[in-house]
Amino acid sequence: MRTKTQVCIIDDEQDGRDYISLLLKNEFPDLHIAFQAESVKDAFMKLTKEMPDIIFLDVQLTDGNAFDLLSRFRNFSSQIIFITAYDHFAIMAIKNGATDYLLKPIDEVDFVAAVTKALENIRKNKTHSFNTTIRSKINLPTLQGFKSIDIADIVRCEADANYTTFYLSDKTKMVVSKNLKEFEGPLVENDFFRIHNKHLINLKHFKEYIKGKGGQVIMSDNSVLDVSVRKKQEFMEVLQLWG
């Protein structure tokens, strides 16, 4: 369990990272810098492994921009403070869930206000965030009501239009008359990954990857599933972290 609020700094300039680190040390010494990153690729790998409470995110990075990075995640619970040299990015920042944005060169007063706002949001969301983090079950609707299923027992989910089939570790399955997207959020937070429009898999039940244009995976129930070409690179990066 975290004892300190975790932050990360994503900026392609060392001076920028150093200045934010200095401001944090002087104004918010209780905050812990979990890591720093200087590119979209570097940040993605680190964020997949650990999601901090507050992210300082430079809009322009060496291999892309902040919005390229954010598009690779379906859900972001972190407070995001954008750093930009151009105020015309403000609207895009807000649309991408920004807690606040800071213009370069960063004004110390604005910095303190932005971090204070982020900390207040964290406090407000603390109960909700805690419940989401510890969720171990998911309720699946039935004709009579609903059935509570252990998330760890779900091997994979398969989408079929407005229906979703849940394949469980005991070889049983449940068909639910809801779109897979309605379940994706809480499952992704519990180590699931969508390898294809049709397939959301539990990484804890992943057994083997077979090379190909997109490739295929073999799951613990011996099912063989296609990986979409679009998802292949991201999936490979996630598997590296799991390896």
Q: Would you kindly state where each structural domain of the chain is located, as residue ranges? A: 6-132, 139-242
pLDDT higher than 50, residue 139:
yes
Mean local confidence (pLDDT), 184-200:
91
As a whole-number percent, the residues of the chain with pLDDT over 90 amount to: 66
pLDDT of residue 1: 45
- Confidence band for 242, pLDDT divided at 50, 70 and 90: low
Give the fold, CATH level 3, of 6-132: Rossmann fold (3.40.50)
Question: Which of 63-67, 89-93, 193-197, 201-205 is predicted with the least confidence, judged by mean pLDDT?
Answer: 89-93
pLDDT at 133: 46
Residue 205 pLDDT > 80, yes or no?
yes
Q: Are strands 216-219 and 206-210 parallel, antiparallel or unpaired?
A: antiparallel
Rounded CA gap, 167 and 144, in Å? 20
- For residue 132, the model assigns a pLDDT of 46
**Residue 92 burial (C-beta neighbours within 10 Å; 0-12, 13-18, 19+):** middle
User: In the predicted model, is pLDDT for residue 129 greater than 90?
Assistant: no
pLDDT for the residue 190: 85
Cβ-based burial of 69 (10 A; exposed 0-12, middle 13-18, buried ≥19):
buried
State the average pLDDT over residues 44-50: 91
Question: For 78, which DSSP code?
Answer: S
Neighbours of 101 (CB within 10 A): 21
Topology adopted by domain 139-242: OB fold (Dihydrolipoamide Acetyltransferase, E2P) (2.40.50)
Average pLDDT score over the chain: 89
Same fold, 6-132 and 139-242: no
